[in-house]
Structure 1
Amino acid sequence: MIPLAAAQTEPTVPLLDAPPRRTGSGGRVAAVLAIVLGTATVIGSYVLAVLDPTGRAFDDAVMDAATGVGLRGEGLDVLELVGIPTVALAVIVLAGVALARGRGDRALGVVALVLGAQLVTQVLKAGLVRPESLEGNSLPSGHVTLVASLGLALVLVVPRALRPLAGLVAVAVTGIAGVATMVAGWHRPSDVLAAVGVVAATGGVVTLAGALLRARPRPRPA
């Protein structure tokens, strides 16, 4: 029998190994998945709804039906809210929320997400072609890209407990913007879907880059 004094001084031996510390690998996997799915969405939208004649006809028919419901003016009113001053103000507010929470990396992420997604959209819009059409290419939608990127930025900067609510708001405003562009006759469904894909992929890149930068070993002070 071990004396009481000895038992108090002996180190405790754990019966089970301590659980490993979380390294954030789940966030990296989610970011990579967003990049893959977002890229696949953009490619699929272009191939199936632009290059394929049957898909192109269906895409045009849906936009024509949306335009014909007689709500063109309402759609234009909604889209007028999405302009440079409004977007700039939203970016400043979202970055300010991140800074107020002590998350400078998230503040930089907001700017990188909104500007990066819009840059990708404009490059794709200028580089892709629409066969058998005298119109310029409209895929992806720039307006939907802006709204969706701001919605995703909102999800990234709010506290974890509020992210489900922020996600619902992001989906709602993106859906409204997408419908408005079709009702106004500006974009087809494939343009809207491709814009969402661009934002998802860009968000994945920004998130993955932030995770990799945070994981870098910091040099010890001399």
Structure 2
Amino acid sequence: MLYQPALAVDRHTATVGARRELRTRLLAAAVVAFVGVFLVYLLAVRTRWGQDFENAALAGARQHRDGTWYAEADRWLNRISAESFGLSLAVIGAVGLLRRRHLLAVCGVLAGLAAVVGARILKDVLPGRPVLGAPAGAGHAALQAPNTLPSGHAAAVMGLFCAAIIVVSGRWYVPVTLLGLPGAAIAGAATVAAHWHRLSDAVAADLLVLAAGLAGLAVVAQLGLVLPTRGETRSTFGQRLMYAFLICLATAALAVGAGYALRYHGSTTPSVRGDAAYWSSQALAVGAAVATAGAMLGVCRRLESVGQRPRRTLTIPDD
């Protein structure tokens, strides 16, 4: 009996330490993802070779305007509105309330909102796209185009997926992934196909959503609402199969994108270069989106939510 208070203090200290360590790791990962947004901007927007590749991809998209994918992509993107996004977030928040994870529901909704608002802010704050290689004596308007990075539509769809993963319990990961990942995976590719955005806009949107989701998890970790899973992470057969499929899909898409990129660099014919850059952008956009979704799933599956915020207790050891 004499040592029970001291043991309680040690247990409380260990819990607080684990919570802080989890918060620090999540924040560090969020910072890395956020820095990745600016690296994508610098490589794709502020370099000549990055601009040439994405301009060729847009030229290739124009070559495919007669195809059904262009019309379907344009029609699907037009369905992503403020109303549909807000309604989807409300449904996700309601799921969290039904689970009695009120602050976790707030975290998921705010993470989705932060991704879209952050995309809007970055689009206005980042400098415009310089037209590298413009002829001497060209006016200012010809030397710079408006910035389009990151894509708000890609951020909205991926933000909804990550918000849902944050809010639902682990047993629902497979159904939510099967329902939500297809839209999130093709959103970036659709913006390129419909001639709305460039590849870098979609990839930057994925990284921004990942940063927002990880930062939100860091906040609830600080509050003690999520904790690391105890012992080995136990996944069902369906979950393991889903993770393996996501890894294979992301790897295959990135490999196809890299293959078309090599074809783009090896060709001198404008039409072939445009077609290769277009399909490379399509595949890389899908691969980046699936990798982002897989990363968010990988983080969430190693966390467990608690019903309410732990109470702070003051333990006075016996003399």
Judge same fold: TM > 0.5, yes or no: yes
Q: Which blocks of at least 5 consecutive residues in structure 1 are unaligned?
A: 1-17
Matched, 1:101 2:111: no
Aligned residues: 203
Paired residues of 2:19 and 2:224 also in contact (CA < 8 A): no
Q: Give 1:198's aligned amino acid.
A: L
Q: Within the alignment, does 1:131 sit opposite 2:111 as a pair?
A: no
Listed one character per residue, the Cα deviations across residues 102-130 of structure 1 (whole Å, up to 9, x for unaligned) are 11012111221122111211111001121
The gaps in structure 2 that reach 5 residues or longer are 1-10, 132-142, 226-308, 315-319
1:212 aligns with 2:211: no
- C-alpha distance after superposition, 1:160-196 (max 9, x if no partner): 1222453455442222111111111110000000000
User: Map of 1:69-148 to 2, 5 A cutoff?
Assistant: 69-70=64-65, 71-128=69-126, 129-132=128-131, 134-148=144-158
| Letter in structure 1 aligned against 2:204 | A
| Map of 1:58 onto structure 2 | 53
Larger radius of gyration: 1
CA distance in 1 between partners of 2:173 and 2:32 (Å) = 21
2:37 to 20, 37, 42: 42
Preserved CA contact (<8 Å) 1:125 1:137:
yes
Cross-structure match for 1:12? none
Tell me if 1:182 matches 2:192. Answer: yes
| Structure 1 consecutive aligned stretches of length 4 or more whose deviation exceeds 6 Å | none
Q: CA deviation at 1:140?
A: 0.2
Structure-1 separation of matches of 2:120 and 2:94: 27
The separation in 2 between residues aligned to 1:36 and 1:171, in whole angstroms, is 24
Task: Report the CA distance shift for 1:34/1:148 in structure 2 as closer, same or farther (over 3 A).
Answer: farther
CA contact (8 A) 2:108 2:213 kept: no
Amino acid at match of 1:172: P
Question: Residue by residue, what CA displacement relative to the aligned partner does 1:45-84 show, whole Å, maximum 9, x if unpaired?
Answer: 1011000111111122223323432233211111022101
Deviation at 1:28, TM superposition (A): 3.2
One-letter code aligned to 1:130: R
CA distance in 1, matches of 2:22, 2:159: 19
| Aligned-pair CA distance for 1:39 | 1.4
CA RMSD of aligned residues (A): 2.6
In the alignment, is the contact (CA less than 8 A) between 1:154 and 1:166 conserved in 2?
yes
CA pair 189-150 structure 1, distance change in 2 beyond 3 A: same
Higher RCO (C-alpha under 8 Å, 6+ residues apart): 1
Q: Is the 8 A contact 1:63 1:189 kept in 2?
A: no
Aligned to 1:10: none
TM-score (norm 1): 0.81
Distance 1:219 1:23 in 2: 15
How has the CA–CA distance of structure 1 residues 66 and 30 changed in structure 2, closer, same or farther, with 3 Å as cutoff? farther
Relative to the length of structure 2, the TM-score reads: 0.58
> Matched residues in 2 for 1:60 and 1:123: separation?
24
- Aligned-partner residue type, residue 180 of structure 1: A
Percent sequence identity over aligned pairs: 31
**1:127-174 CA-partner distances (Å, limit 9, x unpaired):** 112112543110000001100100101111121122245345544222
